Structure 1
Amino acid sequence: MLKMQTGTSTNANAALAGKEAAEAVKADLKDMKMAFVYSGVQYDQKTMLHAIKETLPGVPLIGNTSFTGVMTQEGFVSSDDGFVGIMAVSDPDMTVGVAGMAKQGSARETGHKVAEAALKNAGKTEAPAFFYMSAPSGEEEYYLKGITEVIGRVPFFGGSAADNAIAGEWLLYTDENVYADGISVAFFYTDKAFANVFTGAYRETTNVGVITKIVGDRTLAEINGIPALEQYRAWTGASAEDVKGGNLLAYAIQKPLGVKDPLGDLIAVRHPMNGNDDGSMNIGNNLAVGTAVIQLEGSVDEIIAAVGKTLKELEAKIGAPIAGLHLVHCGGRRAGIGDRINEVYDQVKAAVGDIPFLMEYTFGEYGYEDDGRNTCGGLMLSFTAFGK
């Protein structure tokens, strides 16, 4: 039987925080195959991880820094001095291969190398049942392409490392390495049930256009042949000040953009991050010319309610008793929710009761829908259930 346990700490001492959180999950150490770890940027991550490793010897660790806090079945956990949350996965019949490395060559080349390392660490040559990925914001799609070169299209979940101020202080890590620019993966080999729901849960508006010009991968220059900011303002009624510079990031939380997959099963949310003087906007994920882009919308009330709704969808999708939940929640949505974060906790508890869960807050989310391709987005929820 698969078991999942969580532990947290807000101790200002990084070593003590790691030890306290790890002590809470060590009961099933004999069958523990890995542990997710999410923490505050306030800590010296190497010190924290060393303490966890001493408490959970031989257990592979994987995770990253999280925006402002984590959440477990005990509540929202945050502190100005730091925080850490752990979710341990124990199952005598499961094999997990964890690997991570700083960027070596291109993101795609690094993704290829880390996938080979994860296979080796699992003692396997075949693709896993599913896998987890953590990366920094910026090149997630290319890391994913490199992994896919090795194992093919395998269901995945995860999110991008975050900090508390979008200052580039984020870090990702395994039990062996800590780095700002790189990739971490966990390959899971199991016959237990697994399901992921990946959604922004926004409403579509009738405002739709075609991307006619981009710069690089993530700068949206024109929609319908006119400057992107001009088109966005016409759609949303935003003022020039609303979309100026970094103001756009906060404004767009309730009015983001989205692109559909070829069958319309999934809307990958594209978060406008910065309004530029030339009328273009920086977007949180990759774009393609000739793609239809939809203006989406959702109030703060709807963004909060989406958590409970998505968990109910996940419960129906897995169709089996749930051992635990790994919940990736966008940090931008978290910022928009603000001091109403305890309402998110209420949503989770009402939906899943006493099932163990760990929620992190990320600057990019990863998931898929049915037989569609693995996708990276922003302002999204990637909720994953592990069956018993």
Structure 2
Amino acid sequence: MKIATAFSSDKCSRTAVSRIVESLCETIVSPSLLVVYHTEETDIVVIRQQLGMCYPDAQIIGCSSCQGLITESGYIDGQTVAVWALEDPEGAYGSAVLHFGHGQSDAAEVTKAALIQAIENSDRPGELPELIVLHATPGCEEDILESIVEELGVSVPIIGGTAADNHLDGNWSVFDNEHETCNGLGIAVFYPSVRTSYAFNSGFSTVGFEAKVTKVDGREVVELDHRPAADVYREWYREITRKEIHDESIFKQSTLFPLGRQTGTIHGIPYFALSHPSAVSERGGIEMFTNIDVGETVYLMSGTRQMLVTRAGRVLRSACGYKENNVKPIGGLAIYCAGCMLLIKDQLHEVASQMHKTMKGSPFACAFTFGEQGQFLCGELAHGNLMISAVVFHEDRV
């Protein structure tokens, strides 16, 4: 297996792809799979068509990233497109993107169809993939994960990120070899010839406040402990920070103080999937980027700016699972929350440097997304916010 990345910030998407292909050809001759991350300013039709002409036998999955991205070359700010290319003649790979035809009410059906198509495109029908890369547009990530598990019958490791744009204006997208959509999902299935390892984490901790969810409406938490959810959250925020939270800026102010739901425990220590408040509704509810069900207990979580800076490197290190200093991975993929990125944007070069050091210079690509999907250590698949998801490819098979 070989992995290489290349990027271009050229304003012309056609020129950008030409430069990327020229760079990739130094390492990759006939890629099996291309993972493409790009910002909203790029022309994804041109990118898809140009890559398809240059690599007609490669499977492609593309996803939009918020305001930039990271590769082993560092943090790239603003308009850009990056391609993560994998060449593995002994493995097999397939991708598929499908549109939600009826809003998102048919998400489960479309997810299963996309999964089946991706497996067919890999020429491994009837075999469980070892890894799934998932990129969907915002809105029904939990339904998508549930549908994948239902179709496969088991929990296959997933690394995923929800398509993002620059300013929450709906300019996100996903694409494959043949299609692009701003309302759908993309799936890539992996049957690699080498060993893979994963990590999914946040680094946030509980701070002593919890409540039962007593009323929800879609992704709006209307009541906590039978009180308006925003009132409860304001009290928690004031108590922990000694500051007031303002409705119009709750997205930014809550980045270091999200809500968490316990997903499991490791050695008696609980771990959590996080939910990022996005807005306060007129009736005093809190709109979220995840589903939260009535009856669940939510906890106020806390993190720090420095934790957000160092966490990506730590999660990658956890995914690498180093035992010897001379072990170097082939490459990797990472997903980093856009909300975290926006809060520490002035320190992203440090984030990129730590990721580069952890990967020991091996090629990797990292997108900034509006939701993260992954598999916790005990096997649970989850969709959360303010999370980091990563997969690393190793030389050995076992």
Greater shift after overlay, 64-73 or 15-24?
15-24
Greater shift after overlay, 321-330 or 369-378?
369-378
Alignment partner of 1:311 is 2:310: no
Deviation at 1:78, TM superposition (A): 2.5
Alignment partner of 1:91 is 2:93: no
Cα distance in 2 for residues equivalent to 1:27 and 1:97: 24
Aligned counterpart, 1:214: 216
Aligned counterpart, 1:110: 110
| Preserved contact between residue 4 and residue 28 of structure 2 (Cα < 8 Å) | no
The secondary structure found in structure 2 opposite 1:187 is: strand
| Consecutive unaligned residues in structure 2, runs of 5 or more | none
Aligned counterpart, 1:293: 298
Deviation at 1:148, TM superposition (A): 2.3
Cα distance in 2 for residues equivalent to 1:33 and 1:318: 30
Alignment partner of 1:244 is 2:241: no
Cα distance in 2 for residues equivalent to 1:39 and 1:318: 34
| Preserved contact between residue 329 and residue 360 of structure 1 (Cα < 8 Å) | yes
Q: Deviations over 1:165-201 (max 9, x none)?
A: 1100111111211100111111111352112211111
Q: In the superposition, relative to structure 1, how do residues 84 and 318 fare at CA in structure 2: closer, same or farther (>3 Å)?
A: farther
Deviation at 1:258, TM superposition (A): 0.6
Letter in 2 for 1:235: W
Q: In the superposition, relative to structure 1, how do residues 339 and 162 fare at CA in structure 2: closer, same or farther (>3 Å)?
A: same
| Preserved contact between residue 88 and residue 192 of structure 2 (Cα < 8 Å) | no
| Preserved contact between residue 221 and residue 285 of structure 2 (Cα < 8 Å) | yes
Letter in 1 for 2:108: R
The equivalent position to 1:352 in structure 2, one of 328, 350, 359, is: 359
Aligned counterpart, 1:224: 225
Cα distance in 2 for residues equivalent to 1:101 and 1:4: 27
The equivalent position to 1:164 in structure 2, one of 155, 163, 166, is: 166
Cα distance in 1 for residues equivalent to 2:237 and 2:115: 42
Cα distance in 1 for residues equivalent to 2:245 and 2:119: 47
- TM-score w.r.t. length of structure 1: 0.94
Q: In the superposition, relative to structure 1, how do residues 41 and 239 fare at CA in structure 2: closer, same or farther (>3 Å)?
A: farther
RMSD: 1.9
| Preserved contact between residue 16 and residue 51 of structure 1 (Cα < 8 Å) | no
The secondary structure found in structure 2 opposite 1:24 is: helix
The secondary structure found in structure 1 opposite 2:223 is: strand
| Preserved contact between residue 25 and residue 87 of structure 1 (Cα < 8 Å) | no
Cα distance in 1 for residues equivalent to 2:264 and 2:73: 40
Greater shift after overlay, 262-271 or 291-300?
262-271
Letter in 2 for 1:361: F
The secondary structure found in structure 2 opposite 1:176 is: coil
Letter in 1 for 2:25: K
Deviation at 1:32, TM superposition (A): 1.8
Deviation at 1:47, TM superposition (A): 0.9
Aligned counterpart, 2:382: 375
Deviation at 1:241, TM superposition (A): 6.8
The secondary structure found in structure 1 opposite 2:178 is: coil
Cα distance in 2 for residues equivalent to 1:54 and 1:110: 27
The secondary structure found in structure 2 opposite 1:314 is: helix
Letter in 2 for 1:171: S
Deviation at 1:281, TM superposition (A): 0.5
Alignment partner of 1:337 is 2:344: yes
Aligned counterpart, 1:43: 42
Once the two structures are superposed, the pairs formed by residues 176-215 of structure 1 within 5 Å of their partners are: 176-215=178-217
Matched residues, number: 383
Aligned counterpart, 1:18: 17
The secondary structure found in structure 2 opposite 1:322 is: coil
Letter in 2 for 1:94: G
The equivalent position to 1:100 in structure 2, one of 84, 87, 97, is: 97
Cα distance in 2 for residues equivalent to 1:207 and 1:22: 52
Deviation at 1:36, TM superposition (A): 0.5
| Consecutive unaligned residues in structure 1, runs of 5 or more | none
| Preserved contact between residue 109 and residue 143 of structure 1 (Cα < 8 Å) | no
Cα distance in 2 for residues equivalent to 1:298 and 1:58: 44
